[in-house]
């Protein structure tokens, strides 16, 4: 990469810090882990430099997952104190989510940058459209009764969340809503899912990225350690603020905020993939 001057680096640092604050608020408010904000912004920041384009998306996803490990703990603790983390759901979906996340992290090396962008954009857009509709899709009054169905759903959530570099909320909140789980309970439990996704997925991206050429200094596999350390203080500090807001705002506004951020992000990511 071309060396950057201080005047070039400073706006990038400020941009990442501002993004981390928004990501922390979103993590607490929507249970999304913050990755839905961090991944596209990191990708666009890297794109402004001479960073190898074939690595930019992988590094953005992996670094996002590394931060979610800690952000999700902060967010989940705040929701747990308010009684909105469903431990029954954690027991039912947790194993499948972990297995899917590890699979996604290990598979990332075999998916090119545009493939990751398309996965991110398509899934995020579908979820945004569902959440923005006046009446969200309702499949049942409760979770599926068959264990293999729950295992399959949770595995898919873990796998695609890993490949998108996001916590559990982006996919699990609308799916839990479709099974009639109350929105605050869905958001709180999704915050805990974020930890179950981020740890195995980050491990997978570390393994996948080992030995890949042209990675920047201080990289751990595909994870940029300096970027993660810059982001973490802000996301961890602001996640409890977002969690507090989640319990003060009307549920419909939470859904609308979720859909708006997700829709904008999806369209921009698809534009980058297809442009």
Residue, of 236 and 155, whose pLDDT is higher: 155
CA 89 distance to own-chain centroid: 19
Q: Measured between alpha carbons, how far is 42 from 19 in angstroms, rounded to an integer? A: 9
Average pLDDT, the chain: 82
pLDDT digits (tens, 9 = 90+) for 60-103: 899 989 988 888 888 788 888 888 888 899 999 999 999 999 99
- Could you tell me if 28 and 75 are in contact, meaning their C-beta atoms sit under 8 angstroms apart? yes
Kindly report, residue by residue over 196-209, the tens digit of the pLDDT: 999 999 999 999 98
Report which of 174, 189, 249, 187 is spatially closest to residue 30, judged by C-alpha positions.
187
| Percentage of the residues of the chain whose pLDDT score is greater than 70 | 90
| HSE-CB for 6 with a 13 A CA cutoff | 0
What pLDDT shows up at residue 1?
43
Query: Average pLDDT for residues 166-176, to the nearest whole number?
Result: 79
Tell which residue, 81, 87, 59, 23, has the closest CA to residue 226.
59
Closest CA to 67 of 261, 243, 235: 235
pLDDT at 31 over 70: no
Overall pTM > 0.75:
yes
* pLDDT bucket at 33, cuts 50 / 70 / 90: low
Task: Give residue for tokens 């990289």.
Answer: 219
DSSP H stretches of helix in 31-112: 35-47, 53-81, 87-107
Q: How confident is the model at residue 150 (pLDDT cuts 50, 70, 90)?
A: very high
How many Cβ atoms are within 10 Å of 212's Cβ, its own excluded? 16
Q: Which helix (H) or strand (E) holds 149?
A: helix 147-164
């Amino acid at each position: 990469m071309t060396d950057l001057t201080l005047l070039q680096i400073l706006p990038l640092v400020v941009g990442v810090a501002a993004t981390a604050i928004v990501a922390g608020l979103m993590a607490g408010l929507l249970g999304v882990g913050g990755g839905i904000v961090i991944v596209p912004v990191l990708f666009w920041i890297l794109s402004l430099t001479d960073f190898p384009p074939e690595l930019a998306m992988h590094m953005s996803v992996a670094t996002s997952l590394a931060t979610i490990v800690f952000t999700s703990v902060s967010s989940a603790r705040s929701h747990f104190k308010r009684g909105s983390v469903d431990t029954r759901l954690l027991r039912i979906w947790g194993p499948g989510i972990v297995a899917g996340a590890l699979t996604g992290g290990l598979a990332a090396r075999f998916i090119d940058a545009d493939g990751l962008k398309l996965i991110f954009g398509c899934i995020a857009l579908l979820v945004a459209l569902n959440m923005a509709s006046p009446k969200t899709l309702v499949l049942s009054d409760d979770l599926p009764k068959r264990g293999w169905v729950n295992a399959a759903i949770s595995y898919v959530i873990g796998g695609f969340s890993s490949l998108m570099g996001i916590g559990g909320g982006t996919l699990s909140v609308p799916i839990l809503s479709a099974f009639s789980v109350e929105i605050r309970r869905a958001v709180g439990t999704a915050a805990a899912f974020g930890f179950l996704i981020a740890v195995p997925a980050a491990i997978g991206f570390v393994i996948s990225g080992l030995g890949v050429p042209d990675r920047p200094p201080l990289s751990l596999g595909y994870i940029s350690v300096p970027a993660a350390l810059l982001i973490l203080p802000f996301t961890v500090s602001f996640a409890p603020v977002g969690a507090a807001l989640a319990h003060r705002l009307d549920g419909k506004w939470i859904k609308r905020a979720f859909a708006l951020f997700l829709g904008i992000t999806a369209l921009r990511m698809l534009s980058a993939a297809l442009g």
